[in-house]
Amino acid sequence: MKVLFSQHIARLQSIVQHALEVSRLDGLWIHAGSAKKNFLDDQYAPFKINPHFNYFFPDPSAEHSWLFLDGQNKPKIYFYAPEDYWHVMPNPPRSAFFADEFEWQILTDQQQITQYIQQPQHCAFIGEDESLAQSLGFTEINSKKVLNVLHFERSIKSEFEIECIYQAQLSALKGHQVAKDAFFAGKTEFEINLAYLAATQQSDNNVPYGNIIAINQNSAVLHYTQLDFKHPDIRQSFLIDAGTTCLGYASDITRTYAFDQQSEFAELVNQMDQFKLDIIDQLQVGFNYLSYHTQMHQWISQMIHQFELVKLPAEQIFEEGISRIFLPHGLGHQLGLQVHDVAGFQQNHRGTHKAPPEIYPSLRCTRELIEGMVVTIEPGFYFVDMLLAPWKNHPLSRFFNWDKINQLKSFGGIRSEDNIVMTSSGAVNLTAKAEKALGLKLK
C-alpha cells in the first residue's frame, strides 16, 4: 500500500495544482470536520469525515484536523490530538504507511490552527463549517471552481483507491456469507444484522450506509432499515444490501435469496443475477452509462413477458414504461469515499451538468465510462403496491397477470449488486474477484 499511496498522493498534487491554477489561488486548506451535536442535547451523532480530507489523508477518524496543500510542496497535516480523559482520542498515525508523505504538526487545542493559517484570502477553504472559515479570514469558501476539479478527478480512481475498494469487498463478503447462513438457519432480521456486524467487525455507527436486511415483502422497500425482531410466519425470500470500508473507501454489495430454490421466485433471482453479469460483460470505456441502464430495462421487459407477468410483447412493455414499475431505480452509481460518490452527472472539470432523462429520474450517473471509474451495477425487480396501483385502472390493466403478481408480492423484490472498475479492455468485477479469492459463491 505504501507504494500505491505514494503514487496516489503524487497524482493528487498535480490535481491540486490544476485546481489552484484555474481558481488563481495559492493554496488549499481542508478541514476534516467535527461531529454534530443532537438538537437540544449534549450527545453527538457519529462523526463522518469530510471526504475531501479523506481523499488526501486516509484516516477517517481525524476529527478537527486540517490539511494544507499547494500542489508543489509536501502536504502538511495539522493533526488534532488533545489530552482528554472523557473520550478515547485518536493517536497520530505517525508510523502508518502514508505518514512519510506529510509534514506533521500536532494540535492539542483547536485554536492553535490560527498560528499556521497565513493569508487565507489567497487560499481556498474546503469543509462544512463555513462560519469557522469566515472567522479565520477565508473568502474563497468551497470554491465551485476548485470543487469541480476535485469532484471530477475523484470519479477517476487511482490504483491505491481501487485496492482499498477491493479490500472492502473482501471484508463485506465475509459478512454476506454469515448473513446468508443466518437467514437459512431461521434467524430474524435483527439477528442477521448482528451476525453481519460481528463478521465484519463493524458497529451500526461506522457502516458505510445503513444495512438493508430484509425478509419477504420487506425487500420491496428499497432502503429498508427497520429490522424486524419477529420470525416471519413463512420464510420466502431474503435481500441483503450491506458493505464495509477500507481507509474510508466503501463497498456496496447486494444479494437476494429464495428460501425455496425450486420456486418461480428463485428463477427470477437467477435471471436477475445473470442480467447483472451480462451487462458487466458489455461495459466499455467511451459508452454512456445511460445506454446500459436502457439495455437493462429492455431485458427486464423481456423477463416480464417471459414469466407472463404482463401479456404483451416485450417491445411494447418497454415502450409503455411498464418495466419502470418493476425497476424504479437506476442501474447503479459511482462508488468511492462516498457510497453514492460525486460527479455522477458532472461531465468535465468545468462542472458541466447532465441531468438524467425525465423517464429515469432516479438514475445516478449520466457519464461516459472512463478508465479508472468505479461504479456499482445493481439491477432490481420489485413488487411495490404504490407503483402497481395506478396500472389497475389503466387501459392496459387487462394484460397484467394480477393473480400472479399478487402471489409474488409476498416475496418483496430482488436486487443483485456488484462493484466494478473500468479498464481499457472493459470492466473488472471487483466483487466477483473477491468472491473467487475467498472461495465463495454467494448466489
Domain positions in the chain are 1-155, 159-438
319 is in an annotated binding site: no
Q: What pLDDT is stored for residue 179 in this prediction?
A: 98
The residues that bridge with 283 in the sheet, in sequence order, are none
Q: How far is residue 187's CA from residue 179's CA, in Å, rounded to a whole number?
A: 9
CATH class of the 159-438 domain in this structure: alpha beta
**pLDDT at residue 69, as a whole number:** 97
The C-alpha atoms of residue 418 and residue 171 are separated, in whole angstroms, by 14
Q: Is 109 annotated as a binding residue?
A: no
What is the distance between the alpha carbons of residues 320 and 345, in angstroms, rounded to a whole number? 26
CB-based contacts of 43, cutoff 8 Å, min separation 6: 37
Superfamily of domain 1-155: Creatinase/prolidase N-terminal domain (3.40.350.10)
Contact 393, 424 (CB under 8 A): no
341 assigned ligand-binding residue: no
Q: Count, in order, helices (H) and strands (E) of the chain.
A: 13, 16
pLDDT of residue 261: 93
**What are the distances in angstroms from CA 316 to CA 4, 236, 248, 311?**
50, 31, 45, 10
What pLDDT score was predicted for residue 87?
76
User: pLDDT 10s per residue in the chain (443 long)?
Assistant: 899 999 999 999 999 999 999 999 999 999 999 999 999 998 989 899 999 999 999 999 999 999 999 999 999 999 999 888 777 777 888 889 999 999 999 999 999 999 999 899 999 999 999 999 999 999 999 999 999 999 999 999 999 999 999 999 999 999 999 999 999 999 999 999 999 999 999 999 999 999 999 999 999 999 999 999 999 999 999 999 999 999 999 999 999 999 999 999 999 999 999 999 999 999 999 999 999 999 999 999 999 999 999 999 999 999 999 999 999 999 999 999 999 999 999 999 999 999 999 999 999 999 999 999 999 999 999 999 999 999 999 999 999 999 999 999 999 999 999 999 999 999 999 999 999 999 987 76
Q: Which residues on neighbouring strands pair with residue 246, listed in sequence order?
A: 249
User: From CA 316, how far away is CA 297, in angstroms rounded?
Assistant: 12
The answer to whether 267 is a known ligand-binding residue is no
- 385 marked as binding residue: no
Query: Which ranges in 100-209 belong to alpha helices (H)?
Result: 130-135, 144-154, 159-184, 189-200
